[in-house]
Structure 1
Amino acid sequence: MSARPTGAVRRPPSLGDFTVGPRMLLVTLWALPVGGVAALAALGLLRLVALITDLVFYGRPGTELLAPGLHPHPWWLLLTAPTAGGLVVGLMARYGSEKIRGHGMPEAIEAILTGGSRVTPRVAVLKPVSAAVSIGTGGPFGAEGPIIMTGGAIGSILAQALHLTADERKTLLVAGAAGGMAATFNSPLAAVVLAVELLLFEWRPRSFVPVVGAVSVATVARGFLLGTAPLFPVSTAGIHLTTGVQAMCAVSGATGGLLAIAATWMVYRAEDAFNRLPVHWMWWPAIGGAIIGLGGLIEPRALGVGYDVIGQLLTGRATTGLILGILVVKTLIWSLSLGSGTSGGVLAPVFMIGGALGALEGHLFPHAFPGFWALVGLAAVVGGVMRSPLTGLIFPLELTHAWAAGLSLLIAATSAYALSTLILDRSVLTEKIARRGLHLTREYSIDPLEGFFARDVIRTGPVTFRADRPVAEAAAGTDRRRLYPVVTEDDRLIGVVTHTALRAAAEEPGPRTVADVMVADPVIVYANDTLRSVSYLFAEHSITSAPVIEPDDGRVLGVVALRDMLQARLHDLTEERHRERHLRVLRWWGDASRAPVRSPIP
């Protein structure tokens, strides 16, 4: 005999998920070309930034990415170029799309959280152009934020043309974003980790596999387009990492965390100040550009994306004057101008600021190899600003291939991350999301509903009825909040009936039985279903209780209700808050395994 009652409603255990199977493979196949197109978009953005920079600061067309400040510039050019670029960005935002404002990642997150992972084609075009104008005219920003939004738009546009779910659209959006990141920095591992830590809000095969596919294609394509060498190659020959050096990495991480906190604070204090200005937000990027220009008069090398400066810091070739200029001027103009709502990314500036902090510390800390402390400072500030310690570890390693410094970077990035979480409620990314009225958590944990089965929470000895029982007799012994299984003589389920239905039928004239009012096609739950699966089942069918049956023989074991699933939450709460000692100091030799284990699950 089948364990499933005839007519009973049942969904597969993989409810709401395409973790495995044809859907995951299909989305992966679509993600592959998304990665390739994202790599082309990254190349196009870098070339456009170089073209505008060369035209504005060097008066000639070219596609070699030369930073401002390599040669002396007229003071009026340093002052007016960023202002003019900010004005162009403001006009593009007002008359093109307001979505191009910002540094890219919060906008991608917002599209995922509230927009069903839908990005318009207009944004896919305007975002890289506005970013290229902003950076090319001296904006102290990076290209990674805009390419995240642009690559994400490529994946989203393709997904919107296909018959996909919102989760599948999100996967393709993130695949494009991560592919663009990987192609920009030649950093496939960091791109995948950043996608998991910042954009996917999950770690599941259904999204992880397609994102890795897109990143792989983008990285291979980058090899043909831009080469396979690391962006900032660093030699670790003669590396000498003593215990004292590793301990100082924690100190460097703490100072990097403090700098990250200060920079984050300045970004949003600047944003608050711009919001109070009595002028339209279209003019704000131009005002931010004027601030950039003033900083450029003090330290021209702080302008632009600054890859050459990062390279000098990481190889130990930067002078003390350059280090101090970058640390002070770059931090100020980046933080203040970013609050104006202009277009540009945060990672490259954070690399430069962190590298400058570490290079300055390198004058005081023990020597390990040239550029070591700049690398440590870079990891620390990334971990603190982005609240992404694994990204803070892997990004510098892939940028430099200084793999021998892995433990040092892990210590620094984690120290900065810990300090940032202790002092600030949100990061530079999530604060922007919160200010738009959204709640975002990036703490991943196992759903406690996934750890318990329906059989763990049902009450034993369920009240059941036979189909031929009179409704008046059945109604007399019911509870108004309960659902009751209707069973055969051998306890096989044939339907369900509620207290309300029995009461209503009992008040009607004429003899009636339970069979007349029961629901013959109920939603059923198997005893070995997880409570997470049960909660999906309840949500899909808008019910609060369902009969639980034995999957082997179809016998009714009881009823699971919405309130029963709170027991799993209670268990999770007890695990987190209840403190007890199992091993006494005076009885340390005893068998701790014999201690009774408390559990709220009956």
Structure 2
Amino acid sequence: MYIRFVNYLDTINQYRKSKISNRNFLIILAVIVGVLAGLAASALKSLTHHIEEFLQSDWHWKYKYYLYFVFPMIGIFLTVLYIKYFIRKSKFETGLSPLLYAISKKSSKVEAHNIYSQIITAAITVGFGGSTGLEAPIVTSGSSIGSNLGRFLGLSYKEITMLVACGAAAGIAGAFNSPIAGIVFAIEILLPEFTIPAFIPLLLSAATAAVVARLFYTQQLFFLVTEGWEVNALFYYVVLALLIGLFSLYFTKANYAVKGFFYKIKHPYTKVIIGGLMLGAMVFLCPTLYGEGYITIKSLLKGDYLAIINNSIFSDYNDIPALVVLFTVVTIFLKSIATLVTLGAGGNGGTFAPSLIMGGLIGFIFAYLINLSGFAEVNISNFIVAGMAAALGSIMHAPLTGIFLIAEITGGYVLMVPLMITTAISYAVNRSSQKHSIYTKALADKGELLSHEDKDTTVLNQMKLKYVTEKNYPKLIMDDLIATKMNEIIQSHKNICAVTDELDDFKGVVYVEDIFSELISNEDKDKITVSHFVQSAPVVVNETDDLKIVLKKMEQENAWILPVVNNQNQFLGFVSKTLIFNKYRALLMRQGDYL
């Protein structure tokens, strides 16, 4: 049945190739991905908001507000349960790092369950109060749609990768109703090297997703009322950018610290309890931390500068400016911890929305302090949106995405210059200390990141030693008689043999030309054993070595071929420059037509 289906699909593909060019077919698929990703984004937003509305408005019970302390833990617990019992055969991962890894090392293969599992788990986590964003899950869901559609139709690596990018662009476009930001995000994060024709599928996919999402959500996310920006305020934008750049460095370090803390906790339900209680306590103190947190930014942009404290237990003291400032600063740092705790405890989401919230709050409190001090009078709303763009650009190392996203979702194109200045400076501050973003650093440290700055390393990192290790070389034992092994040596057509002892411990190598020379001149050739010819290998390669290290060893020893052993010093085969270069050339050609 399966074979018949595959053959039928192959017949359809052959017919399609004869009638439609690959480029035109890719455009059609991009539109399909846009429709599906737009529906997925709408489903995620709708499901999340229904959960939030039920818990906060529809559920009437005298003591329900006391449960807000445990709601986040319930959401994380349900997420962990879903992953354990419904995604048993596949691996479930959060954030954008797995997506980048899939492009770099898995030929853009994104597991099919991500299409729906990202939506379900993110809605549960955020709907119950998890302090993360919905954008990373919808990007992964959209990318999974593109990846699986391309694989189902038997497309090539570059075509599947393009559909993955189309899914990501459509996810952002559908989530924010911002097609331009979706395109920029896909190019900046997933496709650093692109050609002009790549724009066409991305444009259509993002635009289609925005149209589909707009059928369900017509309201703009943020409303910005501004008369523009003033030259006199540029100095303060620069200071704001420096502050956010420094904060992004703190957030990066906090990310690794919190991850390390939860990594040491082995039992998943212990993580849920500890993380849930920590998160519940923070949400109880600062209600702004509940869910995505966009409501607070909306209120601040409307001029309600006390919104951040009014819904807390400290609302009775909202007439004290110093307390408003202190409470906002505490909220900013707690938001960073709450986001990381949510993810570390087992919840799903991303740092996209939290970056916007933290940046917006930093921009608000900075401008609020300037106005309180009397040194100057600045437009607080302008600084809020500038802070949002700067935080997103610096934390994610995506400055263009930050600029265009904020300009698009706020309608603040008139603030393009301040957005550019703050985002560029904050990004430069972070990049001066952190070469990679929080999404790419772990992959880069493992050599698993697709980098377009160092193509040699990128291609070598895509190659694994086990795939270029030749195992069809003769393996001799020290006490073997050469006469009894001659047929095996000759038939192998190899000029080198591996030598081990009876326990399979690697001892060295034997060169076939040495054997022939000795047998011609030695009359007692029937009594000569392998040990007579064995030589130490110039250097031995371990099966876990990267190919870049292998090539470095070859250059140092001027060797063309080296033996490969495992951690027990057992011989696995030989690796040669010839095979490495052939594989390198094949991958380089694939990267050459990446787009």
Determine the structure 2 residue equivalent to 1:349. Answer: 354
Shift of 1:95: 3.2
Determine the structure 2 residue equivalent to 1:94. Answer: 84
Aligned counterpart for 1:336 among listed residues 323, 337, 341? 341
Amino acid across the alignment from 2:416: G
Q: Tell whether the 8 Å contact from 2:100 to 2:449 is kept in structure 1 after alignment.
A: no
Helix, strand or coil: the match of 1:121? Answer: coil
Q: Tell whether the 8 Å contact from 1:152 to 1:176 is kept in structure 2 after alignment.
A: yes
Shift of 1:100: 3.5
Determine the structure 2 residue equivalent to 1:396. Answer: 406
CA distance in 2, matches of 1:117, 1:95: 26
Determine the structure 2 residue equivalent to 1:38. Answer: 37
CA distance in 2, matches of 1:315, 1:265: 33
Determine the structure 2 residue equivalent to 1:241. Answer: 230
Shift of 1:345: 1.9
Helix, strand or coil: the match of 2:110? Answer: coil
Q: Tell whether the 8 Å contact from 2:355 to 2:392 is kept in structure 1 after alignment.
A: yes
Amino acid across the alignment from 1:214: S
Helix, strand or coil: the match of 1:371? Answer: helix
Amino acid across the alignment from 2:141: T
> For the structure 1 residues 539 and 326, does the alpha-carbon distance in structure 2 shift closer, same or farther, using more than 3 Å as the test?
same
Shift of 1:370: 4.2
> For the structure 1 residues 443 and 266, does the alpha-carbon distance in structure 2 shift closer, same or farther, using more than 3 Å as the test?
same
Determine the structure 2 residue equivalent to 1:154. Answer: 145
Determine the structure 2 residue equivalent to 1:415. Answer: 425
Extract unaligned runs of 5+ from structure 1.
1-20, 62-70, 448-537, 546-561, 563-602
Q: Tell whether the 8 Å contact from 2:130 to 2:347 is kept in structure 1 after alignment.
A: no
Aligned counterpart for 2:305 among listed residues 318, 321, 340? 318
CA distance in 2, matches of 1:287, 1:436: 29
Deviations 1:339-363 (A, max 9, x none): 3442112111111111000000002
Normalised TM-score (structure 1): 0.65
Q: Tell whether the 8 Å contact from 2:72 to 2:279 is kept in structure 1 after alignment.
A: yes
Q: Tell whether the 8 Å contact from 1:128 to 1:150 is kept in structure 2 after alignment.
A: yes
Shift of 1:446: 14
Q: Tell whether the 8 Å contact from 1:100 to 1:343 is kept in structure 2 after alignment.
A: no
Asked if 1:262 is matched to 2:250, the reply is yes
Asked if 1:433 is matched to 2:443, the reply is yes
Write the mapping of 1:89-238 to structure 2, written as runs, cut at 5 A: 89-97=79-87, 99-103=91-95, 105-227=96-218, 230-237=220-227
Shift of 1:271: 0.6
CA distance in 2, matches of 1:73, 1:193: 46
Determine the structure 1 residue equivalent to 2:6. Answer: none
CA distance in 2, matches of 1:179, 1:259: 30
Q: Tell whether the 8 Å contact from 2:79 to 2:346 is kept in structure 1 after alignment.
A: no
Shift of 1:414: 0.6
Shift of 1:416: 0.7
CA distance in 2, matches of 1:241, 1:275: 48
Higher helix share: 2
CA distance in 1, matches of 2:140, 2:298: 26
Question: 216-225 or 406-415, which moves further after superposition?
Answer: 216-225
> For the structure 1 residues 99 and 286, does the alpha-carbon distance in structure 2 shift closer, same or farther, using more than 3 Å as the test?
farther
Normalised TM-score (structure 2): 0.66
Which structure 1 residue ranges, 4+ long, deviate > 6 Å from structure 2? 444-447, 538-541
CA distance in 1, matches of 2:71, 2:163: 37
Asked if 1:362 is matched to 2:353, the reply is no
Determine the structure 2 residue equivalent to 1:272. Answer: 260
> For the structure 1 residues 190 and 99, does the alpha-carbon distance in structure 2 shift closer, same or farther, using more than 3 Å as the test?
farther
Amino acid across the alignment from 2:358: I
Extract unaligned runs of 5+ from structure 2.
1-19, 307-323, 371-375, 458-577, 589-595
Determine the structure 1 residue equivalent to 2:46. Answer: 47
Q: Tell whether the 8 Å contact from 1:379 to 1:392 is kept in structure 2 after alignment.
A: yes
Determine the structure 1 residue equivalent to 2:57. Answer: 58
Amino acid across the alignment from 2:293: G
CA distance in 2, matches of 1:443, 1:360: 38
Write the mapping of 1:202-601 to structure 2, written as runs, cut at 5 A: 202-227=193-218, 230-237=220-227, 239-242=228-231, 244-277=232-265, 279-281=266-268, 283-319=270-306, 320=324, 323-324=328-329, 326-365=331-370, 366-434=376-444, 438-441=448-451, 542=582
CA distance in 2, matches of 1:356, 1:387: 20
Q: Tell whether the 8 Å contact from 1:24 to 1:210 is kept in structure 2 after alignment.
A: no
Q: Tell whether the 8 Å contact from 1:182 to 1:191 is kept in structure 2 after alignment.
A: yes
Deviations 1:428-480 (A, max 9, x none): 11124346652343659999xxxxxxxxxxxxxxxxxxxxxxxxxxxxxxxxx
Q: Tell whether the 8 Å contact from 2:224 to 2:411 is kept in structure 1 after alignment.
A: yes
CA distance in 1, matches of 2:193, 2:230: 36
> For the structure 1 residues 544 and 371, does the alpha-carbon distance in structure 2 shift closer, same or farther, using more than 3 Å as the test?
closer
Deviations 1:336-388 (A, max 9, x none): 33334421121111111110000000023444434111111111111110111
Q: Tell whether the 8 Å contact from 2:108 to 2:161 is kept in structure 1 after alignment.
A: yes
Q: Tell whether the 8 Å contact from 2:82 to 2:121 is kept in structure 1 after alignment.
A: yes
Q: Tell whether the 8 Å contact from 1:87 to 1:283 is kept in structure 2 after alignment.
A: no
> For the structure 1 residues 402 and 22, does the alpha-carbon distance in structure 2 shift closer, same or farther, using more than 3 Å as the test?
same
Amino acid across the alignment from 2:98: E
CA RMSD of aligned residues (A): 3.1
Aligned counterpart for 1:83 among listed residues 57, 73, 82? 73
Deviations 1:147-195 (A, max 9, x none): 0011111111211110200111111111112101101101111111111
